[in-house]
Structures are given as C-alpha cells and as structure tokens.
Structure 1
C-alpha cells in the first residue's frame, strides 16, 4: 500500500512537472511598443497577444515557440525546460502572407490582419485616405477640403458620420448634435504619418462602441515614437504643397526603459482645381509623452491642435454646366467656405493589477470651434438676397474611459473578460443656423441656442475559447440626457433622457489553420440631434439597429486570404435633423442586406494584390415600392490594386475605386453617377532620404465626387428646379515628395 501511494505521488508530481506554463511579451524591437494580436504558435496550438503584447501558454514539454506579426520578421524562440517567462523583440521586415494563420484566438483577428497588411503594403498618404483603408468605406469631399468628408458604408449614406462611430486614441471624433449634422466626424486633425493601426468593425456587434455604431466603427491609434526623425516636403498642381516633420525627443536608451516623447507637425496649402481659388490651409501640431511610473503603471499624455480655413465652390447644378453658364469647376456663389479649430488633450494610465488583470483609465478634453458658409439652393427661397447660410458652434467636450481586462486559462479553455465604463459630456455655445447676406452680414437666425448632451455607459464583454470554438457575448447599457436653451425665444425646452440596453453575440468555429466560420448578431443605436429630441418631447430618441453577419475566413493557398460575409441590418424609425435647412423629418424604418468580399494575395515576395467588393440592397420599409429607394445609398462598390516592394528601396502601388450608379432620390428619377478612379504612387527609399511621386486620377477621368438631388433656383430663373447638384472630383494631379531621415 505504501509503495502504491509513493508511486501515485511520483506520477502526479511528474505530470505537474511536465505541465509547463510560459508567460511572454512581444515588442517592436525598435520602438519597444507592445504588439497586439501577434501570433504565438507552439506545437499544434496558437494564441495571440493582448493589448500589452502579453501572452500565456500552457503545455507539456514546450521546447520552442514561433512568433509572427504582419510587417515583422517571424522569430523562433527556444525554451528551456524550467523557463517560465520570455521576451520577444520582433524586427520590422517585409510583410509575408505566408506567416498568417487562421486561428480562433480573437474574434477580430482577420480584420486586424487585413488592416495591418494594407497599412504595410500601401501606407496612408493623406488624412482622407485613413478611412479608405476600411474595405467598403467610401468618402466624398464637397467643401474645399476643410469640411468633414461625406461617408458611405454598407448601403448607408452616412452623411458626415451619422451611423458610424469614429475615434482616435480613445477620443471620439464624432460630434453629436453638431451644427452641420448628427455625428459630424472631421478627421483632419490626424497627421497620416502618425497612424499606427486602423481598427474597424462593420455592424452593431462590438460592445465597446455605443452611440452611432450601427453601420460600424473605426478606431485609429497613433504611434508612440517615430521610426526615424523625418522632415518631408511635398508639392504638386494647383499650388498644392505640404511640409511635415516628426522627431523623437528622448534617447534610444530612455525608450528601452519605457519612456517615449514624440513631437510632430504639418502645414498644407492648396488652391485646388476650381475657378474660385480655395486658399485652403491647414496646420496640425501633435505631441505625445509616456513613461513607466513603476513596474505596474504606465502614464501617457497626448495633445494635438488643428487650425484650418478654406474657400469652396460647393455643389453646382448640372444644368448650369450643361447650359454653359459656368465651367465644370466654376461656382455660383463665392461666399462658400469656412474655418475650424480643434484642440485635444488626453491623459491615460495603464495599470497591471496582477499577471492576468489590466486596468486602463483615460480622461480627455476637446475644444472645438466650427464655422461654415454654404448656399445649396441659391435663390430658391430668397430671390433678392439669396439663400446663403452660416452654421456655427463652439464646443467643450469632456470624457472618461475605463476598461478592466481579465484573462484566465483553465484546462477547459481560455476565458477573457472585459468590463468597461465611461461618459462624455458635450456642451455647445451658440450653435446656430443663420441666413446671411454675405459672410459678415446677418439677415436672420433660423436656429440659435446652447446644447448640453451627456452619455454614460457600462458594458461587459465575455469571451471563452475552447478547442476550435470561440464564444463571445456582451451587454452594454447607455443612458443619455438632452437639454437645449433656445436663445431666439430665450426659453429652455424641457430636457429629455433615455436609457437603452444593447446585447451582442459572436460565435466562430475554426476548422483548421486555413478555414473559419463565424456568425455575429447584435443591437446598436443612433441618438438623434438634441434639438430634434426636445422639440418632439423625447419621441424616437434612441432608434435601435438590429443586425447579423454570417461570414467565412478562408486561406485556400499559402499566400491568399479571403474574407466574405452575408449581412442584414434593420433600423427603426428615427427623426433626422437636416442641418442644411434646420428642418426635422422622420426617416421611417429601413432594411439593408448585402455581401462583403475581401481578398489579399501575395503573388511573390515583392508583389501584392488586393480586392474588395461590396454589394447592398438598401430599402425604406414604410414607403411604397416605387418610392422606397434610400437617396445616395451605395448599392455596389469596389476597391483594389497592386503594390510592390523591392529590396532595393523601390515601392509603389496602382489602385482603383469604383462606385456604381445609385438613386439620388426616393423614386430613382434622378441618378447619382457612378465612377472609376485610378491612383498611382511610387517612391525610392534609402537610409537617409526618400523621393516619390503620387498621382491622383491617373487616367484623368471626369467624375462627380459629391452629388445631391436639390431643388434650387439660379438668378434669372422663373421658378426653382429639381436637379442633380454636384462637386466635381479632382482631375489628374501629381505630387512630388522629398523626405530626409535623421
């Protein structure tokens, strides 16, 4: 009996000794930044790193691991029998799709891979291109380059951000109850060279993103340190030029110890291709500092400021060009244009409470000023003074984000729990819509008041990975309050409030390292403009969105990855505030169905190809069949191209974007014209310098960037006419650049 007991103890001890748990961290060897979602393979299993670049694996006799990340050289690390910790520092290198493994470690892994690959093969060259990196997302500029772009995604005309949640470094970009439209998202304070990662998701399935995240979300992250100090100058047609610089303010030794400090700035000017010179100018300044307070706490401080002003041609009626009243790039009213200013400050504290628990806290403040002059209808209402309008606001935005992340590994599987809380408070002063004679002469206020809107939230996000399965479920609670002081009548309308719950479910099954199936379902919401909410006494405050995706990730060949999804989205009736004329209209219920397809293929070591195809069928449910089209909603879009990266420093790309004809009004009697535009870029990079060229609209096609069905009257016309008003897209435009590294 004693012998049997001794044998059992030895057997248990041997099993415990054979079971090996290893905890590691994966960093960028140059910047010392953690690499999130780096793939760690051991035996037949794999895991991905978390936000801190940390991973944990368990098994018997783990002799080595292989760590890979898109844009970095894979590294095999040998492990000793007693080793419990490991630090892996990856060197940057050429992207290789052969390193990509389809696994069940994270529900967003494939989108992260696509985003990283696109950033590596075709870096962002302008603020406008940041959002174009999201497959299926289209943009249109129609106010001189300074106004936020019009956005399109998954059968939505998103206006300037109504149904997409956009943030940068945890700071919201969307402005709720904005003077020009709900969810107005101006990304021009982003310097493109500083973008490190573009995280995105389509549909209302992501518990960390609340208000406006119906069609999806985009979250940008900026670098902590510069790969190399840089000075860059660019110049091109239409009096276009740009200067940019970034510099690390601490030594390499300090960076190794966890301290970073970065300063960057840009200045841009252009007159554009228009008859009326744009005099567009933009100044951006950016600074970020971080330090390791101790072994458990890291502090990060970020500040940025934007100042921009411009003149604009706006949208012109087709009949004015057809009848040769103006040139295609001409104008009807020279008053159009504007200016905007935005300053952001953010302080973040990242705390490691234990080996498996992390707590992130962030407070931020934004000061925002906006002034826009437009004339969409010319003389339709006022035949003497014209229909010029000014939209204006000053805003203070305060916010707080908190996120507790816990990871637990058991014999049954890996458990991942996230608990979040936060708030944002928007206070606008003098938010107004005014009828103007010119930029300095006020004729009358249509709306003038102060808005106070707040949003508080709590959420939980629970994931469990067992075998080939990954189950993810989340629940989000949001509470919103709306108040408005009408300065015209000097009265405060009764404030309104509303709370809502948004459940989310994601399930995926990974058949092998090359084949994965997933399903997503969730509820989201989109708040309405405060003025609409209080004027309608709280009716339709938070119309819900219900959606589902059925998708597949497939790697049929070592250097080919495909992602395809069938999707559905239903929106309840909502009231829409039309900032251009100050009216509030019910939009009714809508239904959208569609398919998304993305493919990335590495033809050889230096040549990459990609393609995205997005089809949608957007329809209004309550309208009759002959009037149920959703104006300007895209039905078929595609983007793609090839890029090359030679070892001798030559790199470049040839890209296209295509949008099909789409209805400009409910009965499709006026059509917004489709287009195909091709862009080209090429550069030559050496250790101390880079030269390059970027060409927009390589084939010099004639296309309309922004298009609207508008009832307008030109001077001398007897009555207003319904017509397609448009902003012409840029013609052939070449820009040269020279960058110096030091």
Structure 2
C-alpha cells in the first residue's frame, strides 16, 4: 500500500490490524494508515481529523471531552458539536429545541440524531415533525459523539440536511461508577453503572433516577427513571451486542409566557399562565448490533424495536379560541418503531492509494396512533382529530471513498429513498395512502498535499419527510375548510467549502463556508403549537472552530458561527424566516493536571433572531456562563460542584411572536412570548468509582 505524506513525527508502516482498520472506517477514514490512527489516539480528546473527516464541518468528540462538559440537561451533550445550540421552552421532560446553521430546528427537524444507530427523530409526531427526545440519554455511557453538517453523506437520510449527531454507547466500562447529586430548585440525581465480565462476554448495566423542579413558581416536578442493560461479546469491530433500554418520566410545564404580562406586573418571569400544562412519556427499546471486520472488508448490521408514548398538554394562546374553558390542548402520541440497517464495505489497495466502497440498506416502519384534543386541566373536552398512521421507508445507498494519491481524496455516493404513507383518520376525507421517492447524490473532494492542512469541497442533495397527515389531508379538521396536501419528501441542496489545519502544535482549526437550499421551509405556527410547510429557503453561513491544547493540563475551545436565512422568491409578508438563528459562539476553558483539582468554564452566546417575516420584531441575544470544579479526594472518590448561569442573567431561552389573549383582555394581542433561561443554580455531585 502506498504511503501518504507524514502528518506527525512518527512514521509507522501500513496498517494490518483489523481492529485499527475498523476504527478508521467507523470514523470515515479513506486512508487506512497507522499514522492516522496514531494521530487520533494521541492528539487529545478532540482528535485531529486531518486525513479522516470528509468535510471541515465534520468531527468526533471523545468520551474524555464529553465527560468534562457541564450540561444542565442530557440533550446539551450535543452542544459539543460546534455551532449547535440546545434549549428548552417548556417542562424538562419535553424534547429540546435545537438550533444549527440558520435553523430553528424546533424539536429536531433537519437534525438527524441517533443513539447506537437507533433513530431518535420521530416521524409524523403529534407535536412536531422529527420530534427528538433525548431525555433517555445517560451521558456517562457515551463514549463518542460523531457529527456531520450538510447533506454530503450518502449514509445519512431523513432529517440530515442541517446536520447529524450520533451518540455511541459503551459496551464495557473500565470502572464502575456510582454518583449522587443534589442541587438548588429541587434537583436530585442518583446513578449506578458497571460492567460484569462473563465467561464469553460482558454485561453492562446502568440505573438512573432524577428529580428537578426548576426555578419556576409552579415547579416542573420532573421525575424520571432510566435504565440500560447490555450484553456484548467480542470487540467494537468484531463482535455483537444486545441492549434493553427503559425510560419513564412525568412533569409539569411552564411554557412560554407573554412578555406583556410580565412587563405590566400580572405575572413574574417564572410564572405560568396555565399551571396544568405538562406531560408524561416513556421509551422502551430492544436493539442489537453485529460487526465483522477483516483486512479487506467490514460488515455491520443493527436492528431495533422501540416503543414510544407521549401525552402532552400545552396552552399557548390561553383564552383566544375558548374564552370559557381556555385553549389548552392535548397531543397524545403512541408508536412502535422498528428497523434494520445493514452495510458492507470493500477495501482495495492500489499502487498509489486505496479505496473503500460501501453499500448499505436502511429499513424503518412506524406504527403510530396520535391525535389532537381540546382539554381543560388535562381533561378531554372534544376531539379535533385522531389518526392511525403507518409510515414505512426503505433507503439504499452506495458510497466510494478513494485516496488517489498522497494529495487527493474523493468521496462519491448516491442514495435512493422510497416512502409509503397510510393514514386512517377519524375524518374519512383525510384518510388515504400516498408514496414518494427521491434520489440524492453527493460528492466531496479533499486536497491535502501538506503535512498540517487539508482543503474540502462538498456537494450534495438531501431531504426531510413531511408529516404523513399532510400528504393525505383534504379538509382542515379544526375549521372545516378545504386544505392543500403537501409534498411528502422535500429536497435540500447543499454546497460547502472548507479548510482544516493543525499548523501550530496543539491547535486544531477548521473553517467552513456553506449554502443550503430547501424546496419548502417548515415554520412555526404559534396559535396551534405546530409546524407547517412554508416557502422555499436559502441559507448562507460561515463556521470557525478551534481547539487548542497549549499545555497537557489546559485546553481551550472557541467556536463561532454566523448564518443568513431567507425565503426564496417573492413572499408578501417578508423574506426573513422567524426564529432562524444568526450568530452563535462558545468559549470553553478546561484545566486538569492529573492532580486532585480540575475545573472548567464555558461561555455560550446565542445571538438575536428575527421573530416575524419582515424583521420588524427581533429577539434579544442571550449569554450564559457555566462552570465546574472537581476535587479528587482519593483515587476512587471525586466531588464536583457545577454552577449554571453564574452571572444570573435574565435572558430568554427562546422567543416567539404570535397572537394570544389573556383572561380579561377584550381582544387578541400580538406580542413576544418567551421562556426564561434558568436562574443561577448550583449542583454538587459525589462520584465513586469501583
């Protein structure tokens, strides 16, 4: 096998170990070379991606880096991906809000999220398309977070246009862990996790219990139980695992509130308009994965069966539609999701380089029962609609990753997706079947004749699916008016140019410039608390990411991003996209010299956003400073103190502009509705390893 230019001072011969080769394949390496493996393993917790990643905006975050992050809620682990913001506008049990690359992704649309290759996004969901509830995630089990941005990978399908986030759980724990946490606002958490070696394999278990009230006048009273049981044999590249996961929670919600009510003194910042809002959910899953790797090939298969249920009560407009009972509504959703992913890769050596060709298939079926009810204090008053949906999809992809010589690499792929929707509605006119298919090509060119830098050009087409009910609807069930059907699959087109460099020892820098077009934009409809299809859109943006480790015990992260989002064509109301994120920034400093003390600080900036199409109303920016101090009392006992919103800023976690009506108001009023960021709070955690 031909050797590439050296990228570090150590020169190692060609790779022959299937274990090393599988690791590189898993990370997207086209050059299966020991020198690349060496760089991944020794360059720190945010491994150098030169020669591995196919885009400047792609990367991998290690377990070490994830463990150092201070997160208020499990979903914030995804903020390790540069430019991604995670927030909340409701009770803690509800799926988070996500922002990336000029998108308000609502509860997950256009951010494909997986945990151990199981999809987290829920299609045709009662509350929001692509609903992504990560509250079942146990951060201590995550060994890696892989992220990509843009529709440049044939392996990624639905919801992957803005980005993907893939969390990988451990098969084994090097040491068992038990921890107990307590904090302000009724916060408490207990965790027990360990691995037990058996005669043939390993049995991993984890149990978590959590309670949190939050700073709200009407406490969240968020209660969850979470458990994982996994049996594995072999290794990550040659072996298998079978996993059971169980999560159950219930909570109260302080949803977004009208700014006018706070300004005139009717309520406080942490008050609720309807204290009966809230929800309960559960997620149970059975999954398995199998991998086999040789010097010249790699195969993997994973299958999953997931049972999700959500009962959600919300009230965003208060007394606008029903002055007597109020406007609370329920969105029940119960589903079973099943699927299989399988792929096989061939690795070929040439005189000047090497090539990996992968073919894969992805099958998924969702059997869904959901609805929309009018309620008062969580009691059903009437039914707006109830539906039984069967949504099935098949994706087939082929991708080739070739290193032509020491300077050039290419990645070329194509995927075909076919969807079938079967909707049985309580209103016969809205029942029906629909199908759609889409071909999505992608290509990347990587140029790297230098030892410490690479240039990238990425082109691709992707898509997101729309709600199945929109593909068969003919009558608006709320008004009785005629309704137009929507295109089931909406195409996206992306272009990106980027660079990555490690010219200074200890410093990794990446820069990417991108454009992303959508044939239809999902927008937020505040009066219904749902999303709806909108006009075509275009986004331009730039991302600048840095990871610097000047000393063995000190690391600094600086990530900056800016995006410009507009509707394409003439739009009477204006071309701005409500809620579209513009500027974000993150500065994090971590210190750990291996002694008894460690610590970190993270400053996060979330820029202002347009709230209506003509940009006449905008949100304000927000900024939070979080910190952590750790003291290792002895080798196996650590005490950590975490602080959130250290400066106690009174910013918004999210802002909307829409019309609502409070009790006593003569007519509906348009205005900003917001959910506050959590006030300053402290948490202490005692950790014992065994």
TM-score calculated relative to the size of structure 1: 0.85
Deviation at 1:443, TM superposition (A): 1.6
Partner in structure 1 of residue 383 of structure 2: 445
Which moved further from structure 2: 170-179 or 343-352?
343-352
CA contact (8 A) 2:576 2:612 kept: yes
2:481 aligned partner: none
1:435 to 361, 364, 374: 374
In 2 relative to 1, CA 600–324 (structure 1 residues): closer, same or farther, beyond 3 Å? same
**Residues 1:688 and 2:645 are matched in the alignment:** no
- Give the conservation status (yes or no) of the 8 Å contact 1:528–1:576: no
Equivalent residue for 1:5?
none
The answer to which of 411-420 and 103-112 deviates more is: 103-112
1:337 aligns with 2:278: yes
Deviation of 1:238 after TM superposition, in Å, equals 0.7
**Matches of 1:619 and 1:279, distance apart in 2:** 40
Q: Unpaired segments of 5 or more residues in structure 1?
A: 1-19, 28-33, 38-48, 58-63, 75-94
- Report the secondary structure of 1:132's partner residue: helix
* Aligned counterparts of 1:519 and 1:177: Cα–Cα separation in 2: 34
**CA displacement, residues 306-326 of structure 1 (integer Å, 9 cap, x when unaligned):** 101000111110011111101
CA contact (8 A) 1:102 1:510 kept: no
Check the 8 A contact 1:630/1:663 in 2, yes or no: yes
Deviation at 1:24, TM superposition (A): 1.8
Pairwise CA distance, 1:26:
5.2
Corresponding residue for 1:11?
Answer: none
Q: Matched residue of 1:458: which SS?
A: strand
Partners of 1:65 and 1:179 in 2: how far apart? 49
Match of 2:488 among 538, 541, 553: 541
Q: Which moved more, 1:729-738 or 1:571-580?
A: 571-580
Matched, 1:724 2:675: no
2:408 equivalent to 1:469: yes
Matched, 1:486 2:433: no
**What CA deviation, in whole Å up to 9, does each residue of 1:118-154 have, x standing for no partner?**
4365476741321111111111212210000111100
Matched residue, 1:41: none
Q: 1:482 to 1:69 in 2, by over 3 A?
A: same
Instruction: Verify the 8 A CA contact 1:527 1:542 in the aligned structure 2.
Output: yes
Residue 459 (structure 1) aligns with: 397
Residue 532 (1) aligns with residue 473 (2): no
Change in 2 beyond 3 A, CA 1:718/1:204: same
Q: Residues 647-675 of structure 1, C-alpha deviation per residue, up to 9 Å, x if partnerless?
A: 21322210011012111111222222211
Paired residues for 1:9-20 under 5 Å: none
1:115 deviates by 5.8
Describe the shift of the 1:143–1:736 C-alpha distance in structure 2 as closer, same or farther (beyond 3 A): same
Conserved? CA contact 1:264–1:285, under 8 Å: yes
Q: Is the 8 A contact 1:229 1:248 kept in 2?
A: yes
Cα deviation digits, residues 409-441 of structure 1 (max 9, x gap) = 121310111110021000112x1111112212x
| 1:132-180 alpha-carbon deviations (Å, 9 max, x no partner) | 1111111121221000011110000101111111111010000000000
Partner in structure 1 of residue 149 of structure 2: 202
Check conservation: 1:140, 1:151, Cα contact below 8 A: yes
What does residue 364 of structure 1 align with?
A: 304
Mapped pair 1:232 → 2:179: yes
Alpha-carbon separation, structure 2, partners of 1:198 and 1:272: 27
Q: Structure 1 530/679 Cα, relative in aligned 2: closer, same or farther at 3 Å? A: same
Q: How many Å apart are 1:249 and its aligned residue?
A: 1.7
Alpha-carbon distance in structure 1 between the residues aligned to 2:237 and 2:171: 19
1:654 equivalent to 2:601? Answer yes
Query: Which residue is equivalent to 2:356?
Result: 416
Equivalent in the alignment of 1:394:
334
- Alignment partner of 2:332: what SS? strand
> Distance in 2 between the 1:667 and 1:52 partners?
42
Alpha-carbon separation, structure 1, partners of 2:413 and 2:506: 34
**1:290-689 map, 5 Å:** 290-292=232-234, 298-352=239-293, 354-429=294-369, 431-440=370-379, 442-465=380-403, 466-487=405-426, 489=427, 493-535=431-473, 539-573=486-520, 581=528, 585-624=532-571, 627-685=574-632, 686-689=634-637
Match runs of 1:57-206 below 5 Å? 68=38, 95=44, 103-107=50-54, 111-112=58-59, 118-119=65-66, 122=69, 126-206=73-153
Q: Of 36, 41, 51, which aligns to 2:23?
A: 36
After superposition, the CA RMSD in angstroms is: 2.7
Aligned counterpart, 1:23: 16
- Max radius of gyration: which structure? 1
d(CA) in 1 for partners of 2:138, 2:365: 26
Match of 1:282 in 2: 224
Could you tell me which of 216, 221, 235 is aligned with 2:163? 216
Question: What residue ranges of structure 2 are gaps of 5+ in the alignment?
Answer: 1-12, 475-483
> What is the distance in 2 between the residues matched to 1:474 and 1:499?
17
Displacement of 1:260:
2.0
Report which structure shows greater RCO (CA 8 Å, sep ≥6). Answer: 2
Q: Secondary structure at the match of 2:470?
A: helix
Question: What's the CA shift string for 1:558-596, capped at 9, x where partnerless?
Answer: 111110011001111357695972877440011100100
Post-superposition offset of 1:365: 0.3
Aligned equivalents of 2:584 and 2:28: distance in 1?
37
1:627 aligned counterpart, secondary structure: coil
